[in-house]
Chains A and B, each alone.
Chain A
Amino acid sequence: MAISVNYNLTALPLALKKGNFYLGVGDVGKGPTSGTSYYHGITPVAGGYTLYVGQNGTNQPKIYTASSDAQLITLTNTLFSQNFTTIAQCNAFYIDKTDRMVLNNEPGAIVTDRLTLCLMPHNTLSHNQTTDGKWYDLAQGLVFDYYGIMTPLTTLGVAKGFQFNNSGFWRCSSNSTLVDLGGDCTVVLWIYGTQGGSRRTIFEKMGTVYQSYEQELAMTWEVGSGLSYYSRYSPTYDYGGTEATVSSAWTMISIKMSTGKTSSPRTGFRSKNGNAWVQDYTSRSNVALITAGAIQIGTGYSGTCYSGGIGTVLCYSKMLSDNEILQVYNATKTYYGL
């Protein structure tokens, strides 16, 4: 089903966004109705693109389609008086524009209620598909920069992701407090492959006073390919675990936690590939956590990932239900070959 699209200069809730475009991909209430003012989009053809160009004074953007890289280059040159010769130039042209966007894959009908972070490496709304060092969040507009040697965007198994290389990682240093992992929260990671034989941190919010695993959240990929996750500090940190990722395939690993901002015990749960949540967390702290710093993907207190890769990353400021995590899985699994 094609996404619904609204070109609007004011914020709209319950939608993904790119510039002034709002994509009603998730919660059904944002479908194209007279009440929501959303319009039907067009499903991009396999290997092709849909181009949306905003129109001042109307919520309905102009929509164009291109069935190949060559067609998009020609279309872009015609519409915007450019002289591009490569698809990389086209993608780079669109990635930071607010009044035009090019879509190669639908984001999918993920849950968007209280979505605080939405990173999709394979999607031209989130990354320009070349060697650009920016990874754009479609929930709140956060920007991740790469450090070290760029993790290449490559096809891992059946889907594109950033391949870990023992050097490159991603960090968001501005507005990271908008992704609150100290309160009720959920984190969803599409991970490719297995861990490689030496534990590394795959996702964390950096510590500001203590280590990352002693504040909001750190997730470490262990030997055996299960993930450990940690939070809070005093009298000592809490810990939990997930099931293992799968060799030479994509796995959706999710965790959720109740708030750690009070003296009450924090609770934690794990889910693999959209299965019902299983409680897996040991609370040892009875002191409210301290807000953490920058968000990091592919690195952290236990080193930089070197095996496997990372795909879609989602965060929520609520604990998703069993039905909601299944909805997220069903909306994303096809792309990852499941």
Chain B
Amino acid sequence: MIKFINMDFNGSQWWVEYLENNEYKKNYYDDEESAKTFYVSLIN
């Protein structure tokens, strides 16, 4: 099971935090669109 937690821009990259199998993970992206695409895949 994957649960979205949060996303933001850290000054150089966009990150998306999520919980997968009780483990917190962060994906990093160079552009906002890629982060949003991943976010939407998690939230839907």
Contacts and interface: CB of A to CB of B under 8 A. Distances in A.
B5 interface: yes
| Interface size range on B against A | 10 to 19
Contacts of A301: 8
B6 A223 contact: no
Interface string B22-44: 00000000000000100110011
A213 B15 CA distance: 14
A228 B6 contact: yes
Nearest to B10: A211
A239 interface: yes
A291 B5 CA distance: 23
Interface in A216-230: 220, 222-224, 228, 230
Interface of A is mostly: loop
Interface residues of A, number: 14
A266 interface: no
A223 B36 CA distance: 10
A250 B3 CA distance: 27
Given A198-B36, A199-B39, A220-B6, 15 more contacts: A199-B7, A199-B43, A211-B8, A222-B4, A223-B39, A223-B40, A223-B43, A223-B44, A224-B43, A224-B44, A228-B5, A228-B6, A230-B6, A237-B6, A301-B8
Interface of A: 198-199, 211, 213, 220, 222-224, 228, 230, 237, 239, 301-302
